């Protein structure tokens, strides 16, 4: 029996790339993993699960969006990933008026599960429920299903809460956490939400990619 979300493939997807990449020292979206940019890899990976084109949440001055629709933050000041989530909510409300939820993925986690959206949708029971991913005992709220209905609440909270900790926002709402297992590889278990922040992380990601490719 389908749950509240009848067809997860119809959830609009947003790629969060509005950060500063300060630890990387250069825009992470254009970093190469294997022969591919992170932007290409992540957009393809989330896009192949969804029927609605991927929107790119990034700064308004990006010239190279690989054909993705650019959706800059609706509030200024680089207020963190939830500013991207708010932007996605506002965009979905206008452009996908039938969607109760949208899905976000960050620009820097190249190995996320391909059944991400279907699994996040399973526990949603109502229009105001949030679902986030977890693995190995850690939450990854940048991988989330977010209700369009929470836009005003999120905007008010972002403007009022100086710390803007994601977990403090989540504590105000009903959150379903979906746990994903590690991926077994020749060089050990890989966290599916392995996240690239630094040049060293990018090198590690290259090793994980090679290990995954030899799995196949």
Ligand X SMILES: Nc1nc2c(ncn2[C@@H]2O[C@H](COP(=O)(O)OP(=O)(O)OP(=O)(O)O)[C@@H](O)[C@H]2O)c(=O)[nH]1
Footprint on residues 122-181 left by Mg ion (CB under 5 A): none
Pattern 19-58, Mg ion, x by CB under 5 A: x---------------------------------------
Footprint on residues 123-152 left by ligand X (CB under 6 A): 142
142 within 8 A of 120, measured Cβ to Cβ: no
13 binds ligand X (CB under 6 A): no
Beta pairing, strands 36-37 & 55-57: unpaired
> What residue 172 binds from Mg ion, ligand X, none (CB within 5 to 8 A, per partner kind)?
none
Closer Cβ to ligand X, 58 or 124, answer by number: 58
Looking at 5, 16, 71, 202, which residue binds ligand X (CB under 6 A)?
16
Segment near ligand X (CB under 6 A), from 18-26, 60-68, 165-173, 177-185?
A: 18-26
> What residue 23 binds from Mg ion, ligand X, none (CB within 5 to 8 A, per partner kind)?
ligand X
Q: Residue 84, CB half-sphere, CA atoms under 13 Å: how many?
A: 28
Closer Cβ to ligand X, 103 or 142, answer by number: 142
Footprint on residues 70-89 left by ligand X (CB under 6 A): 73, 78-81, 83-84
Shortest spacing between CB 125 and ligand X, in angstroms? 27
197 binds ligand X (CB under 6 A): yes
List residues binding Mg ion (CB under 5 A): 19
List residues binding ligand X (CB under 6 A): 16-23, 57, 73, 78-81, 83-84, 106-108, 142, 197
């Amino acid at each position: 029996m389908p749950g509240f979300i009848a067809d997860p493939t119809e959830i609009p997807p947003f790629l969060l790339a509005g950060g500063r990449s300060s630890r990387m020292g250069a825009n992470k979206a254009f970093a190469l993993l294997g022969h591919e940019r992170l932007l290409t890899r992540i957009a393809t990976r989330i896009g192949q699960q969804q029927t609605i084109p991927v929107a790119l949440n990034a700064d308004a001055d990006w010239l190279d969006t690989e054909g993705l629709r650019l959706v800059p933050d609706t509030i200024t000041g680089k207020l963190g990933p939830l500013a991207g989530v708010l932007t996605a909510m506002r965009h979905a409300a206008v452009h996908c008026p039938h969607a109760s939820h949208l899905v976000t993925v960050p620009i820097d986690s190249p190995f996320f599960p391909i059944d991400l959206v279907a699994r996040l949708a399973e526990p949603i029971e109502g229009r105001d429920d949030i679902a986030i991913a977890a693995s190995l005992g850690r939450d990854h709220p940048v991988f989330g299903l977010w209700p369009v209905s929470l836009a005003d609440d999120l905007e008010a909270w972002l403007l009022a809460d100086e710390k803007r900790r994601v977990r403090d926002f989540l504590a105000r709402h009903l959150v379903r956490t979906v746990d994903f297992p590690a991926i077994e590889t020749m060089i050990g278990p890989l966290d599916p939400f392995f996240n690239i922040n630094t040049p060293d992380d990018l090198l590690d990601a290259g090793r994980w990619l090679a290990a995954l490719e030899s799995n196949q």
